Amino acid sequence: MYGDDETVRRILTELGDTWAVVGLSNNRDRAAFRVASVLQHFGKRVVPVHPKAETVHGEQGYASLAAVPFPVDVVDVFVNSSLAGQVADDAVAAGARAVWFQLGVLDEAAYDRTRAAGLDMVMDRCPAIEIPRLG
């Protein structure tokens, strides 16, 4: 497992409440839309990051992490595994404190690089499941 309960709890409760959700759009059928709603319910500020830069759940969207004009604490990744490593690298460059790869998003090399850069990281888990369980 990539991210033990202690790391999950730290990301959810200690590292900050501004979450960039990469892959979040207004498509209500996508998991990212539902998970972002749960994050907001638990007091997180959700920042949509998607090429369309749509406003989602009342929050202004941005086309990339680099375009977000303020610090983000956690980068929650809802993209294909083949793209996730670049997002993790972008999160490190943006000064995020943690990266979270959603269920089914797997890139062991990105996990290792992100941890080596000093960030907490969780892979193949969902914060909407973990917040009620551990938060």
Tell me the pLDDT tens digit for each residue of 32-84.
999 999 999 999 999 999 999 999 999 999 999 999 999 999 999 999 999 99
- Res 91: pLDDT: 98
Q: For the whole model, what pTM was predicted?
A: 0.96
Structural Rg of the chain based on CA atoms: 13
